[in-house]
Amino acid sequence: MPASSLHSFVLHYLADHDRVDLIELSELAGVTQQTLRMELSAIKAAASSGEPCFEELSSRYVEVTNRTVLTRFLDARRASGELSSGDRVVLALVLSPDFVTMRRLASELFMSRSAVEKCLAKFSREGLLALETSRQRGVKLAVDVEDRYAMLVRILRPYVNATDLEGSLRRFSEDCFPLGAFVDDGELAASRAFVGAVQELDSASYVADSLEELLCRGLAVFWCVHRDLLLACDGESTKEVEDSDFDHYEDIVRLCLCAVGEEVPSAEEAYLVRLLMSLRKTCTHDNDAVVERMAPLVQQIVGEIKTRYSIDLTEDRKLLEGLSLHVWTTVIRGVSLSSEPVLYPMDDLRRTYPLGFELAAVAAEVIERRYGYLPKGNEIAYIALHLQAALERMGMSTDPGGELRAIIVCHYGLAASTLIAERLERVFSQLRVVGMYSVAEYRAHLDECDAIVSTEPLGDDGHPVFYVTPMLHEAELVPMSRFMEGHDRFDSRAAVTLLESVVVDLSGSVVPGDSIMRLVEALREQGCVDHLYGESVLRRERVSPTSLDYIAIPHGDPEHVLHTRLAVGFAPQGIEWDGSTVFAVLMLAFSSEGFAASPRFFSSFYRRLARPETERGLREVAKMPGVDCRRRMVRIVIGDGGR
């Protein structure tokens, strides 16, 4: 990995992790541990402001001790990176309204003509840019205006700093790209003044990231309008927001344009209106109307969550209001905002709040069906935070203990079974009896429970069994009491899940889709999922990939799961999966009934799998000969990473 790329990679990895395994990080970065240590020493020295941002715990581990220092350092460094030659050429094409010759590109960018030609050849070969070429006139970008906006913002946005808009643009021009050769000083001044006018005239608040985004998009609009590169009429999206909210921001935009001496056509004006509505962080004048307007969509989201996961959020007013405002102000606009901080810990959030992310994926599907816009990445994270807060209010934390589901196996009859159930639930507040069965029928209901309470001798079904009599003497309750006091009940259920898993050899798989469908087919052969489950897994993966560092945990719609079951695939060759190399794929097909009975187990099991030490252990299992490695997985997941 090049030095500059390694520097950025290590910084962002530190930002996402509290405790860092140097062996693991060196493998992920593709460098030796010595090189990694040298980079860490350089970062520590450069970032230190009297107090180091991380400390060595041992020869293998370091721990982030001052996240404030690290955050400030990364924020200061984010605009200091050199713009790549490819992005320099792209930005020059974006800011060239007509054909431009290779000679002029090379001259303006202070690059050799051969270097420019190599970049263009790569763009053409890999289909990265839509280009129109002419032997006499040169090359021209062949994209619509909104795509041109997006390309300019993508490149310029990381170099803009809200605390010094003018200074950051000047440094970008001096150090990275000759803006002055393509953009008039008046256009730069107008975009800066437009940001100031919005801050002065609008009662809503805009955080630093929003102001940086606004500057870039305002510059894109003014530059294009001055060169007659105009948006197509956008009547449909304008109708979507024709109300007092839109009218309010239409007035704000017109006042701001007047203040900076700019005139733009109606489509561009509507674009700026929607942009302000998307970038604001609070809506201060019409919240009630927005919540009322978005109520059908949000009710549809919580309705689908209730159907699929048996989690009822319909009465959570804070969620309904917060999600309404969020979806209205950002998601349904379809504007690419990049409005989260650079240090936004996406991976850490996914590991910590898996159920919140799972419910956010449902919300994303509903939004896509309604608006044709699929939220991804960081937008999913924002939605997940709203939903996770609602789960916390319900008391559905990711506590590994949680509720113990038990079934009663009794040959004395219904009266005795009912008596045992009533007394157990009175003695143990966290125990819930989910069924009462005979010896002949209880095996068909093992998916429903974490433990069995029986008056009859049973075989080894993989579940803990507590033998009792209808009298339930104190001595009979002691083993169950000990079990309830500890975390053994989660460990026991997780162990059963792993021991009963379907193991698949993925040594021939090279892409995620193939490995997913092979695991789905294995579950179908066991009668655990229906024919639509595979499609739902792929759809869920499209919304938010489930790969971590060394493993992936794909899963689909619980409504298509007939019996909860885990399928595990091992790929010793490694599968490239959304930027990670995955060696183990664990597909937990969790039924709707399973969620209803024990919603905490999904989160707790996911979090246990997502521990770095567990990931490393499962990677090693992938290299073991054969596929009968279930007991080894139990030691890794339930124990301390298998060490």
Percent of the chain at pLDDT above 90?
31
Average pLDDT over residues 319-331: 80
CATH number of 3-77: 1.10.10.10
Q: What is the pLDDT of residue 452?
A: 92
Is residue 360 over pLDDT 70? yes
- The highest-level CATH class for domain 496-638 is alpha beta
CA dihedral 50, 54, 59, 61 (to 10 degrees): 170
Tell me the pLDDT band of 255, cut-offs 50, 70 and 90: very high
Q: What is the pLDDT of residue 643?
A: 38
Distance CA 18, CA 351 (A): 13
Average pLDDT over residues 608-616: 85
Classify strands 502-505 and 465-467 as parallel, antiparallel or unpaired. unpaired
Phi first, then psi: what are they for 504, rounded to 5°? -125, 140
Joined tokens for residue 37: 């240590």
Distance CA 411, CA 214 (A): 72
Joined tokens for residue 167: 């200074």
Is residue 146 over pLDDT 50? yes
Is residue 237 over pLDDT 70? no
User: Which of 137-151, 385-399, 402-416 is most confident?
Assistant: 137-151
Distance CA 296, CA 201 (A): 32
Phi first, then psi: what are they for 2, rounded to 5°? -55, 155
**Identical fold, 3-77 and 287-336+348-393:** no
Sequence spans of domains, the chain:
3-77, 82-143, 144-283, 287-336+348-393, 404-485, 496-638
Q: What is the pLDDT of residue 417?
A: 86
Q: What is the pLDDT of residue 342?
A: 38
- Confirm or reject CATH 1.10.10.10 for domain 82-143, answering yes or no: yes
Q: What is the pLDDT of residue 48?
A: 64
User: Which of 144-153, 391-400, 432-441, 515-524 is most confident?
Assistant: 515-524
Is residue 502 over pLDDT 70? yes
- Position with higher pLDDT, 302 vs 404: 302
Distance CA 110, CA 295 (A): 55
Distance CA 523, CA 500 (A): 12
Q: What is the pLDDT of residue 236?
A: 45
Distance CA 3, CA 122 (A): 23
- The highest-level CATH class for domain 287-336+348-393 is mainly alpha
Tell me the pLDDT band of 235, cut-offs 50, 70 and 90: very low
150-190 pLDDT, tens digit each: 899 888 988 888 888 988 898 889 888 999 999 999 999 99
**In the CATH hierarchy, which fold is given to the domain comprising 404-485?**
Rossmann fold (3.40.50)
Is residue 579 over pLDDT 60? yes
Q: What is the pLDDT of residue 74?
A: 67
Is residue 389 over pLDDT 80? yes
Average pLDDT over residues 251-262: 95
Q: What is the pLDDT of residue 33?
A: 87
92-143 pLDDT, tens digit each: 999 999 999 999 999 999 888 888 999 998 888 877 789 999 988 999 999 9
At 628 the three-state DSSP class reads coil
